[in-house]
């Protein structure tokens, strides 16, 4: 186990790296026609740095990441929000934890892309500074194609090109698009109201981002003459996820996964229609513009979220919710990852959702996915195809652990 002094030395050494250029090589499917994504969810680095258990759980999280990546060989790693527990951050070094979390990726030469979560905004933690820290690494593909105080930061897309040599020479059309949205939340960096209180930041994808997404996607359709299959990554789940969870049964054999965060916390939670935060308000439809935009996107296969550490299932959204129904006959798969970090609430066994897209299955909108646990086991392996939700799979054990070397017990 690392000592506090050893961890501090590591962070200081890593923080002295010089800025380096962004990668120029585009993302591509592997020669076997597959593109695999490992999602690291709710890492929550930097909790209680002043107590011994805080740095120790960061080391435990690094162990989880190493154990997952020892078993998996992704083309891309997605850090899907709540990278740092900003409430515990110090202004002077709040972003330095990024160096520790991406160390296993850098060591393996892996590239990554991030969304930021509600805990990545705090009085002493700036989303913009976190992005600047990421840009010190050539391995980072995180961008800000639309960024302001209202939009958040991590709003961008990444194209993925085909595997064959002819794609390099003759075809400039992506086979897959990966969309990343900033669902914001937390509080604004270094801002206070007249009474000295921290100012809450809305916790949904802003309408300006939705408009940018629709316009950009329309431009891509016109440019390439077709609807390109796509996936979406956003930290806080949309209200459709809450609706399918509470209005329909998440069947442990047909939609395998843990369903302990019931009801789940969706975008817009605790915000009033008036713009006031807290009080008696629970939800006022703030993410409906995003839901409508996603529902109208041809070729959108899945939306991957975290935030709710006790939910790890996928459910097919193919029926009307608040009058919104996906245009895709196959529906849109709404998926949660697995809590990866030892920071944050809950003792569910840590792990990482894997997503594999295969070129030959793109025309049918099929995606394969499974969860790799820190124990090395695989759970929740399913094919998100047109009949997902009808097949029977083994239920996911509700397993808990307290550290990477502890025994794993169900319950």
pLDDT for 278-298, tens place per residue? 878 889 999 999 999 999 999
Burial degree of 280 (CB within 10 A; 0-12, 13-18, 19+) = exposed
Given a cut of 60, whether residue 357 has pLDDT beyond it is: yes
Which residue, among 57, 59, 68, has the nearest Cα to 108 in the 3D structure? Answer: 68
Distance in angstroms (rounded) separating the CA atoms of residues 100 and 318: 40
C-alpha to C-alpha distance for 278 and 276, rounded to whole angstroms = 7
For 7-11, 155-159, 292-296, which range has the lowest pLDDT when averaged over its residues? Answer: 7-11
Burial 195-227 (b: 16+ CB within 10 A, else e): eeebebbbbbbbbebbebbeebbeebeeeeeeb
What is the total count of domains within the chain? 1
Rank 168-182, 336-350, 391-405 by mean pLDDT and report only the highest.
336-350
Q: Is 153 helix (H, G, I), strand (E, B) or coil?
A: coil
**Do 365 and 339 contact (CB within 8 A), yes or no?**
no
Q: What is the pTM of this model?
A: 0.93
| Rounded distance between C-alpha atoms, residue 290 and residue 296, angstroms | 10
Closest CA to 232 of 171, 296, 320: 296
Helix (H, G, I), strand (E, B) or coil at 133: helix
**Phi, psi for 349 (deg, rounded to 5):** -55, 135
- Domain span at 398: 4-410
**Both tokens of residue 261?**
């965060």
CA atoms within 13 A on the CB side of 212: 20
Residue pointed to by tokens 């206070």: 192
Any idea which of 177-186, 190-199, 247-256, 402-411 has the lowest mean pLDDT? 402-411
Residues 6+ apart with CB under 8 A from 230: 176, 177, 178, 179, 297, 299, 300, 301
Contact predicate 371/352, CB 8 Å: yes
What's residue 86's pLDDT?
A: 97
Mean pLDDT of the chain: 91
The tokens for 262 are 């019931």
How many C-beta neighbours within 10 Å does residue 345 have? 11
pLDDT in tens, 66-98: 999 999 999 999 999 999 999 999 999 999 999
Other beta carbons within 10 angstroms of residue 191's beta carbon come to: 12
Q: Give the CATH number, domain containing residue 118.
A: 3.60.21.10
> How far apart (Å, rounded) are the C-alpha atoms in residues 389 and 333?
10
Name which of 198, 173, 188, 79 is nearest 134 in CA terms.
79
Q: How far apart are the first and last CA of the chain?
A: 27
DSSP 189-247: EEEE-TTSPEEE---S--HHHHHHHHHHHHHHHHHHTSPPPEEEEESSPPHHHHHHHHH
Tokens 């400039």 belong to: 172
Q: Per residue in 314-348, pLDDT tens?
A: 999 999 998 999 999 899 999 999 999 999 999 99
Q: Report pLDDT digits (tens) over 177-234.
A: 999 999 999 999 999 999 999 999 999 999 999 999 999 999 999 999 999 999 999 9
Asked whether the beta carbons of 183 and 152 are under 8 A apart, the reply is yes
Both tokens assigned to 390:
């009808």
The single residue listed with the structure tokens 């002077």 is 92
């Amino acid at each position: 186990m690392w000592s506090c002094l050893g961890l501090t030395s590591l962070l200081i050494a890593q923080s002295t790296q010089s800025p380096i250029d962004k990668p120029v090589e585009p993302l591509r499917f592997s020669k076997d026609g597959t593109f695999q994504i490992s999602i690291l969810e709710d890492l929550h680095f930097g909790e209680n740095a002043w107590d011994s258990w805080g740095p120790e759980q960061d080391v435990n999280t690094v162990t989880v990441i190493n154990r997952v990546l020892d078993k998996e060989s992704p083309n891309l790693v997605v850090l899907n929000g709540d990278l740092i527990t900003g409430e515990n951050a110090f202004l002077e070094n709040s972003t330095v934890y990024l160096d520790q979390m991406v160390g296993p990726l850098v060591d393996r030469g892996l590239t990554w892309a991030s969304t930021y979560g509600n805990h990545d905004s705090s009085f002493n933690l700036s989303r913009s500074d976190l992005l600047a820290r990421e840009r010190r690494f050539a391995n980072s593909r995180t961008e800000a194609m639309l960024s302001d105080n209202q939009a958040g930061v991590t709003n961008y897309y990444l194209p993925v090109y085909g595997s064959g040599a002819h794609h390099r020479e003759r075809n400039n059309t992506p086979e897959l698009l990966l969309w990343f949205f900033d669902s914001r939340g937390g509080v604004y960096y270094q801002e206070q109201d007249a009474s000295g209180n921290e100012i809450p930041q809305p916790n949904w994808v802003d309408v300006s981002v939705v408009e940018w997404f629709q316009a950009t996607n329309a431009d891509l359709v016109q440019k390439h003459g077709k609807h390109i299959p796509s996936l979406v990554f956003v930290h806080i789940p949309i209200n459709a996820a809450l609706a399918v969870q509470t209005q329909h049964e998440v069947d442990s054999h047909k939609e395998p996964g843990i369903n302990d965060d019931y009801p789940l916390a969706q975008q817009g939670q605790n915000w009033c229609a008036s713009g006031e935060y807290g009080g008696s308000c629970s939800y006022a439809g703030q993410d409906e513009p995003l839901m409508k935009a996603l529902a109208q996107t041809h070729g959108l296969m899945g939306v991957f979220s975290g935030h709710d550490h006790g939910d790890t299932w996928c459910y097919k959204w193919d029926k009307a919710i608040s009058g919104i129904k996906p245009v895709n006959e196959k529906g849109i798969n709404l998926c949660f990852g697995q809590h990866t970090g030892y920071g944050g609430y809950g003792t569910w066994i840590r792990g990482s959702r894997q997503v594999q897209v295969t070129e030959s299955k793109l025309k049918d909108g099929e995606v394969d996915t499974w969860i790799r646990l820190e124990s090395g086991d695989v759970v929740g392996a399913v094919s998100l195809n047109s009949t997902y939700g009808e097949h029977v799979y083994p239920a996911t054990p509700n397993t808990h652990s307290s550290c990477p070397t502890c025994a794993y017990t169900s319950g």
